[in-house]
Amino acid sequence: MKGVFTLLNVSSLSFHYQPQVPVLTNLTFSVLDGEIVGLLGKNGVGKTTTLKLILGLLPIEKGSICLGNYSLEQHPMQYKKQISYVSDSHDIYNNLTGKEYLNFIADMYEVPSETRGKIYAPLIEAFQVEKYLNSPIKKLSHGTKQKIAIIASLVNDPLLWVLDEPMTGLDVEAVQVLKKLIQSRATFGKSVLFSSHILEICENLCDKIVIMQAGMIKKTIELRDNPSETSLEDIYMEVVNDVPMGKDFSIKQSNR
């Protein structure tokens, strides 16, 4: 269940890919222990960049990121042991088989063979991928690669599970499995941060939703503590279009 301890704290984060072209500007938000947080926004607003900075895949230019008691800049090894990531682009080793990849990730986190077996076995069964594990990853479908990446990402039982568009390419059954996994981890006090374009999934899963626009946080919605009578879709459209919505759900035109 969601607690009161701040697990992830992102403070005043700014980032540029090119000089004078800001991607993120003074980004500040937090994730509590046991909290499910959804990151929403149009393409190109900086969601994936934000996740990559949190993961330590990009250098911090300005600001700070802390996970529990560890700062990413000051304690990178301790920080990264507590976090895990599922990308939407499958940056995994294509020449390995699925089984080799799972063991490679477990080796990276120094997870004993017996422990990794207990973690992997129920996930392999739930995602129905056992028959694909001896095939080279490069020969697998996008959805199957995604399932294997999800399974591998849980071997270290991360305090924070970060997912970038995790539903992309998954079949209906796999989406249901993933949703249950996300909810289960939150129940046991682990946190989940994911980006998505699927508003319905965010509305049903998340405790908190952070809406980004032009590299900044435009609105934070606490869904569990303060359920809104207004749908997430209406709130989202109002925020990203920066104009109020009419009762007929049309975007009101400003008198300019």
- What tens-digit pLDDT sequence spans the chain (256 residues)? 566 799 999 999 999 988 778 899 999 999 999 999 999 988 888 999 999 999 999 999 999 999 999 999 999 999 999 999 998 776 667 889 999 999 999 999 999 999 999 999 999 999 999 999 999 999 999 999 999 999 999 999 999 999 999 998 899 999 999 999 999 999 999 999 999 888 888 888 999 999 998 899 999 988 876 566 677 788 888 887 765 544 443 333 434 3
3-state secondary structure of 19: coil
Strands 70-71 and 62-67, bridge-based pairing: antiparallel
The Cβ of residue 8 has, within 10 Å, a number of other Cβ atoms equal to 23
3-state secondary structure of 175: helix
For the chain, the domains span: 1-82+159-165+187-256, 90-157
Looking at residue 44, its pLDDT comes to 87
In contact, 216 and 249? CB cutoff 8 Å: no
With residue 223 as reference, give the H or E element that holds it.
Answer: none
CATH superfamily, region 1-82+159-165+187-256? P-loop containing nucleotide triphosphate hydrolases (3.40.50.300)
Question: pTM for the whole thing?
Answer: 0.88
Closest-CA residue to 23 (of 50, 63, 52): 50
